[in-house]
Chains A and B, each alone.
Chain A
């Protein structure tokens, strides 16, 4: 294990909320506004941490465990996803499956914490989240399987840098994963992170009852989720071998993440959110792109 691989964790912990800021700045400049400060996500998290938490009498320990389990799950994910060409500290063969199930664990605890409040509104959001993630997961796993098959290794740290972006399969997988990325992180066109008062929202509705430090943990872990899934995409688009001196791939990966954040901002500014009925259609389309890529590499 190299010292440089701890950069993964350190940079992730430090800079993850910054990318929310970049997305928001992009959206603001599209709309001709000044927008919130770049570091607003940090301020939000710090503000929430200083407050006290309010718990409803109907909730049990599950409600309190939700945010903690969510954060610890995404921290594990942070340890197995490579940063550019630098191998992750805990990389092992088959860690791509672990990544999918860690994200699943995180979602599961968010969902049962939402159900634990007994609010029908949150139950509705939970139901939607589970439906959409059930459709997004095949797209994610089949896409990664296609990359694994193409590169012949089963570890994210080896297969992401080895994928050549300019082959059609990888382009297909990257598009599919971009759709999954937007869905998993509850961005437009799947979900609008800014709404709190609409009946169509998905992710935000599940965390409505969390307050204070709990909500800070949720904000922080969703920023980390954005970072981790972003790294999976960036790792494929900017393949950089580990031969370089370590700052080079790290710098490339960070540039890639910034570019991704800007792209997400542009998508959010130019697209409207899809009708709820159309969302499964888009996810199935992403899944079929992944499956097509998988068929292409199977020959």
Chain B
């Protein structure tokens, strides 16, 4: 129970809950950055006995890109947009936290249903935590109006996939792994530009107003 991986998984789920319940964008970005660093460490801890250069590189890339580069980009987005807070999300914060609990329950059920591969002892939480993170990301994309929060949701979703990937397929080719990271990086970059343009066009970041543009 007390294995470091279990504690990391619990921290991962807790950070998901925090993201669902908090409204301040700056705090949310810090939590996403924490999640990125956590996952970077997780890649190392999970294969502690057999570290390869490839693994260390992936972990380091994830640690630096998700822990430092994304937050810097996103913080600049906030500064330029001048928004501090999500004002009126589609789903309220209390309901979001409750939805988080439901998602955790569903993930546990799914985790039991999906005996994809033999995991060692003390790792029972990994698949549920990965799925919860994935669902949290999707939920944030749907439930929040602010374009920046939706971008965060995208990163969180990728975190979930990454967690799932570390444990399910240890031998992902390096190129594929780096390709995914690069994709996310470019996506966040593009979203940063999109956020900038939404902000210039509308003076705020509510993406649901984009509907007005329909011809």
The distance from the CB of A283 to the nearest CB of chain B, in whole angstroms, is 9
> A289 contacts which chain B residues (CB < 8 A)?
14, 17
> A296 contacts which chain B residues (CB < 8 A)?
10, 125
Q: For chain A, what secondary structure do more than half of its interface residues adopt (helix, strand, loop), or is it mixed?
A: helix
| Residue contact B124 to A288, C-beta cutoff 8 Å | no
| Residue contact B7 to A168, C-beta cutoff 8 Å | yes
B104 at the interface (CB under 8 A from A): yes
A285 at the interface (CB under 8 A from B): yes
Given contacts A288-B17, A292-B13, A299-B124, contact A167 B98 (CB under 8 A): no
A166 to B6, CA, bound (A): 13
In the complex, the chain A residue whose C-beta lies closest to that of B125 is A296
Chain A 148-184 near chain B by CB (<8 Å), digits 1 or 0:
0000000000000000001110001000000000000
The distance from the CB of A179 to the nearest CB of chain B, in whole angstroms, is 13
Given A168, A284, A291, A295, which contacts B6 in the complex, CB threshold below 8 Å? A168
Given contacts A168-B1, A168-B6, A299-B124, contact A281 B100 (CB under 8 A): no
A296 to B98, CA, bound (A): 17
Q: For chain B, what secondary structure do more than half of its interface residues adopt (helix, strand, loop), or is it mixed?
A: helix
The distance from the CB of A169 to the nearest CB of chain B, in whole angstroms, is 8
> A172 contacts which chain B residues (CB < 8 A)?
10
A289 to B7, CA, bound (A): 14
A280 at the interface (CB under 8 A from B): yes
In the complex, the chain A residue whose C-beta lies closest to that of B124 is A299
The distance from the CB of A94 to the nearest CB of chain B, in whole angstroms, is 26
B73 at the interface (CB under 8 A from A): no
The distance from the CB of A190 to the nearest CB of chain B, in whole angstroms, is 16
5 smallest CB-CB distances across A and B, nearest first, come from A284-B94, A168-B10, A288-B97, A288-B101, A284-B97
In the complex, the chain A residue whose C-beta lies closest to that of B1 is A167
Task: Pick from B10, B13, B100, B124 the residue with the most CB of A within 10 Å.
Answer: B10
> B7 contacts which chain A residues (CB < 8 A)?
168
B105 at the interface (CB under 8 A from A): yes
Given contacts A168-B10, A292-B101, A292-B104, contact A285 B17 (CB under 8 A): yes
Chain A 70-114 near chain B by CB (<8 Å), digits 1 or 0:
000000000000000000000000000000000000000000000
Given contacts A292-B104, A295-B104, contact A285 B13 (CB under 8 A): no
> A281 contacts which chain B residues (CB < 8 A)?
21, 93-94, 97
The distance from the CB of B123 to the nearest CB of chain A, in whole angstroms, is 12
A284 to B96, CA, bound (A): 10
> B98 contacts which chain A residues (CB < 8 A)?
284, 288
> A167 contacts which chain B residues (CB < 8 A)?
1-2
| Residue contact A285 to B2, C-beta cutoff 8 Å | no
B134 at the interface (CB under 8 A from A): no
